[in-house]
Chain A
Amino acid sequence: MLFYFAKRLSASALILVGVTIVTFCLTFLIPADPVAMIAGRNSTPEMREQIRIQLGLDKPLIQQYAAYAQRLAQGDFGISYARKSEVGPLIASRLPATLLLMLGAIIAELLIGIPAGLYAAARRGQTGDKVAMTLSFLTVSTPQFVLGLSLLYFFAYLLGWFPLSGYGSLSHLILPAVTLGLAGGGWYSRMMRSSMIEILRQDYIRTARAKGMSEKRVMLVHGLRNAILPIIAMIGLDVGIFMSGVVVVENVFGWPGIGQLMWQAIQSLDIPIIMGITTVAALFIVAGNLLADLVAPLIDPRIRLR
């Protein structure tokens, strides 16, 4: 177990280094000049040259990366081009909002996915099952900005149940969390349904029924406990999916997290912020995957660690 953990951890570290290298190279492949964005439209070639030297952008790419990696290893994400302030604290100030949104989305997808899957499994082949599965297909395929704006329009503007965007209370969290988590809820309802159907065929379920246990008790006690295991193992992977989703969802709902910061940084070609957020997001994705791998054998002893 310990050996397995060490092996996975070192692989994760390598992935992180890889991510920073690829992102770093990508930002320089964009056919645009960050110096031109900083210096503005009235600058002279001399001013642009000076800024280039100040930022070290005149050096070969490998040297630039080495300097960047060295600073990053000390926890220094550099200075934002557009904001002229430190990127580390900037991301740190936005991260709690994003984590809260992701937590809300995980709760939302479980609250949607598990009951829907149970319901569909219990009514396998009937109308209720078909409706639930069609809905799950819809939620998986709806683009998040469409879903977000529609929810805002109906539940916040027309019905007035929720505030029209913003941050601060539980009522602010619900719509963005549902928007982010609904697709996952759709997936989970399908997973839940098929694993439940699988389990309901098992001998121990037949035994339970033969003992005269009520169908409700069979489903919720024996069925659910076993069917939910694969879903728990998947939650870690959601972190990765959500990391890309927050860019859209945070912009629709005015949620002050790193997704919103990322979107603005991309527009102004603020490379230190783009690099910083990519690195932090990669860190979370890798940690999420690691968690998923570690949790899986704990909750299901049939999975062996190698």
Chain B
Amino acid sequence: MRALLISTAAALALFAAAPAALAQSPKQGGAAVVTFNNDLTTLDPQVGYDWQNWSVIKSIFDGLMDYKPGTTELEPDLAESYTVSDDGLTYTFKLRDGVKFHNGRAMTPADVKYSLERAVNPATQSPGGGYFSAIDGYDALAGGKATELSGIRIIDDKTISFTLTRPDATFLHLMAINFAYIVPKEEVEKAGADWGKKPVGTGAFKFSEWVPGQRIVLERNKDYYRQGVPYLDKLTFEFGQDPTVAILRLKNGEVDIVGDGIPPAQFTEIMADPANKDLIAEGDQLHTGYVTMNVTQPPFDNLKIRQAVNMAINKDRIVRLINNRGVPASQALPPAMPGYNKDNKGYAYDPDGAKKLLAEAGQPEGFTTELYAMNVDPNPRIAQAIQQDLAAIGIKAEIRSLAQAEVIAAGGTGKAPMIWSGGMAWIADFPDPANFYYGILGCAGAVEGGWNWSKYCNKELDGRAENADAMVKADQAETRINEWKSVFDDVLKDAPWAPVFNEKRFTYHSARLGGAPSLFTDPIHIPVNYDYIFAKDAQ
């Protein structure tokens, strides 16, 4: 007892001198409550694709690859190691020993094959199946002409290889996204249509209970292959919690994390309260908000008019309008993304220059057009700010404030001349510039129903992008990123978008939760990396 007292006193003395971060060394145990307004739709990793279920799925399941917590740095996860063939067409993964599903069965290469095929199989209706189009046999399976991916080969009980039809430098990232997470076939088949409600994975937390509309409870996976994590014994997600009410509950000590973030209307008040200083984690996210201009139709088929719009928008004012919850965007890629060109300042705010460009384009008096925006705060207010900026140079933009699905439809059909992307696009699924190109700026997305709402299709840039993605060797990584940088510089010259701001993430959490701020604003586990946060009051 005396020894304990002495050591405690010594520890206290140490803590007093040490920085606060040291005092917060993680402890095992405790519980946390996270609130969301909407009940989760599904916990099926091959299907779930909204930002409420995205990180919950990440805590229950694992993939072959993952990222270091709080960063965008790739590392092997369920794979112990991997090799890439010289031609970049074959990836061979050696699986880790001792990985078990929550039902106790050991994970095998057959599970990896099954899971990837499940993502591509059209019967699954996976919104991420298209990511795996480089795997040999994709077309046959996706087209319903095969039941397996011929490019996946089980070599022995620990080794599996993927053969691609084209080199794809993003392949390792693709092995880290939710759609490639490993699921046990027997559990999927046993649960049938209820699989999304009874998930069984290999991840840090084990699914325990789902009460529809009320809560989901996860428990620490005691057999998790990573020693010592997760820290929390229990993680509860409560639903139907309006963020305004959730904040009141957090102040009452009933809630630990407001999953939906801080409502815009309360942001200033909460940030100004000194009591919240250590409770709000701030971090970058891989997001750009932009205005698309349909380049296939007049007047936006004219480069000068698109450039004029870029120069007319006062991005600083819009950033202030959203209470500085972001930074003005100079280009399509966000600053935290590899390939971001910090030397490219983009189009400066210059209404006079914009007017000149309009005159040069033969529209000195301006014109009338439509600006589509999603009807959830703060997007209509942002659209109004853009409307005012455009009016200052003579462009009269009528705002079409609609439900998300309607704006997406108007963008997909090409009906919308301009769209403010807020609330819909674009947050990267994985931290690579390719994820900011093909679907939203490349020719592949410029089709009916695609997400390239500018309908911008530059074959030359597409070719350069594909060349860049063919550089798969580790020593080519830098050349590849530089090539992407130049692709995005050229996109900006063509100005199919007017980039407006890069959103930051602010997560409000209770004082009893500990962990680096980067875990509460993890760029991959959006919004929070539940596996590494801990309860300070754990016994």
Instruction: Mark A residues whose CB is within 8 Å of B.
Output: 30-48, 50-51, 54, 79-80, 82-86, 90, 93-94, 97, 149, 152-153, 156-157, 164-167, 250-257, 260-261, 264, 266-269
Contact = CB atoms under 8 A, between A and B. Distances in A.
Contact of B127 (A32, A41, A46, A261): A41
Closest 9 CB pairs of A and B: A40-B127, A256-B213, A254-B240, A32-B405, A32-B409, A82-B41, A269-B405, A32-B406, A41-B451
B52 to A, nearest CB: 10
Contact of A50 (B144, B248, B405, B439): B144
A37 B409 CA distance: 9
Q: Which secondary structure dominates chain B's binding surface?
A: loop
Interface stretch (B21-29, B190-198, B299-307, B500-508): B190-198
B319 to A, nearest CB: 25
Nearest to B451: A41
Interface of B: 37-39, 41-42, 44, 47, 49, 122-123, 125, 127-131, 133, 142-144, 193-194, 196-197, 211-214, 238-242, 244-245, 248-249, 252, 254, 403-406, 408-410, 412, 425, 429, 439, 444, 447-451
Nearest to A167: B214
A41 B242 contact: no
A80 B47 CA distance: 12
Given A40-B127, A46-B142, A86 B193 contact: yes
Contact of A47 (B142, B213, B425): B142
A180 to B, nearest CB: 15
B242 A45 contact: no
Nearest to B131: A42
A51 B241 CA distance: 33
A123 B240 CA distance: 43
Contacts of B193: 79, 84-86
B127 A256 contact: no
Contact of B248 (A164, A254, A266, A268): A164
A86 B212 CA distance: 13
A40 B244 CA distance: 29
15 contacts: A30-B406, A33-B449, A40-B128, A41-B127, A43-B129, A50-B144, A83-B41, A84-B42, A85-B194, A85-B196, A164-B248, A165-B240, A166-B214, A251-B242, A256-B240
Given A44-B130, A257-B213, A149 B244 contact: yes
B450 to A, nearest CB: 8
A265 B494 CA distance: 39
A42 B240 contact: no
Given A46-B142, A47-B130, A254-B245, A83 B42 contact: yes
A62 B142 CA distance: 29
A42 B409 contact: no
Contacts of B451: 41-42
Contacts of A34: 405
B122 A47 contact: yes
B289 to A, nearest CB: 15
Contacts of B143: 46, 50
Contacts of A33: 405, 408-409, 412, 449
